[in-house]
Amino acid sequence: MEKRLTRTEMLFSLGFLFMLVCAVGAFFYGVKIGSDQTEAKLIEQTKHLSGGKTSLVPAYQQQDLVSFYHTVFLPYREFQNEWTQTLHKISTGQISDSASALKGLASTAKQKYKEANLASVPASSPLLEQSQLQLLKGLKLFGEAAQRGAGSAKDMSVEELVKELVKDAFYLEGVKQALTGQVSYYYAMMKWSSSVDPHIPDQFSTTSVLALGKWKTLPLVVKNKVIAEQLKSRMLIIPYYPQDLTSRVDQFISSGQASKMGMKTLGSVIDLLIDTEAVRSGDFDTSKPVLYAKELLPQLPFFFPE
């Protein structure tokens, strides 16, 4: 005969089931709350990794400028030095096999492109991102120009070959891209300096004519950026750095020579120094203790070689 539960037993069973359901519900609710809190905490901790407006990572940190120098700018400069030296040797007859020399330049451009392309540049410093892209384009175009020159070398004299190289469309665009990349890098240095010293502007627009009186009032990092722009406007690939030309300009002015010659604009002094080949690599290092002892500069190897 089937035994029925008493009223007390029935109430006890229902109460137990109710408590069990509540306990399970509370467990899963606690898990959800804990999960939401953990997720919120992780989002808060990783906000600085995003490129949004809430980013906490400062732009143009000195360590980024140094890393960029070693991983992007230096590989490009190494190629540029090899390019200028090789073309000089070809034009002066020091190299007999021009085709092989140009093929070597194309190979070097490809190698340096790979090196610079591997570099990681922070999105918080867009000028460095731009500079990397521009220098990479320059390397690629220089490589194309060298390869084209190698294909034509056997059918030309040395003089004809060099003339064709410097008129080549790939070469000209390569110069433009590389010099634009150099301007972007020096502009990034100016941005960093401005973040350290509020008296240094974070931007400076160069007019077509810059008076020497105005030039003398500019901080060194601004002068270097202006010189990089001057080199770009002249489409000049030179063996020295912008700061080498900056120092020669300042020496020329401080010596009184600019005044004696009646020069009043930066452009006229630059043209004279370049045309007379009065600038050498290392000029900045020589003049730094006298002219720039108190100037703010990032700790980059070409500013502090020692």
Which stretches in the chain have pLDDT values below 50?
1-2, 24, 26-55
Chosen domain end from 156, 183, 200: 200
- Whether residue 177 is found in the same domain as residue 219: no
Rounded CA-CA distance 172/153 in Å is: 19
In this structure, the answer to whether residues 232 and 281 fall within a common structural domain is yes
147 vs 10: CA distance, rounded Å: 94
Task: Annotate 112-139 with b (16+ C-beta within 10 A) or e (fewer).
Answer: bbebbbebebbebbbbbbbbbbbbbbbb
Three-class secondary structure of residue 265 per DSSP: strand
CA dihedral 34, 36, 41, 47 (to 10 degrees): 170
> Which pLDDT score, from 0 to 100, does residue 59 have?
86
| pLDDT score recorded for residue 206 | 79
Average pLDDT over the chain reads 87
Task: Judge if 224 and 94 occupy the same domain.
Answer: no
Residue 85 confidence (pLDDT) = 95
3-state secondary structure of 305: coil
Which of 165, 183, 200 is the last residue before a domain boundary? 200
HSE-up of residue 44 (Cα within 13 Å, Cβ side): 6
Report yes or no on 252 lying in a domain: yes
Is the same domain home to 195 and 211?
Answer: no
Residues 162 and 88 occupy one common structural domain? yes
Residue among 76, 48, 181 at smallest CA distance from 127: 181
In a domain, 150, yes or no: yes
Kindly state whether residue 74 falls inside one of the protein's structural domains: yes
Which residues, 6+ apart, have CB-to-CB distance to 301 below 8 Å? 69
**Crossing angle, helix 98-117 and helix 74-91, to 10 degrees?**
170
Domain assignment present for 26: no
User: Do 85 and 209 lie in a common domain?
Assistant: no
- The total of structural domains in the chain comes to 2
The per-residue pLDDT for 34 is 40
Q: Is residue 46 part of a domain?
A: no
Task: Render pLDDT for 255-274 as a digit per residue (tens, 0 to 9).
Answer: 999 999 999 999 999 999 99
The answer to whether residues 195 and 64 belong to one domain is: yes
Tell me, what's the pLDDT at 41?
Answer: 38
Q: Which of 181, 200, 219 is the last residue of a domain?
A: 200
Specify whether 101 is located in the same domain as 194. yes
Which of 10, 79, 115 lies closest to 87, judged by CA? 79
- pLDDT given at position 31: 36
* Residue 165 falls inside a structural domain: yes
Assess if residue 193 is contained within a domain: yes
Domain that holds residue 192: 60-200
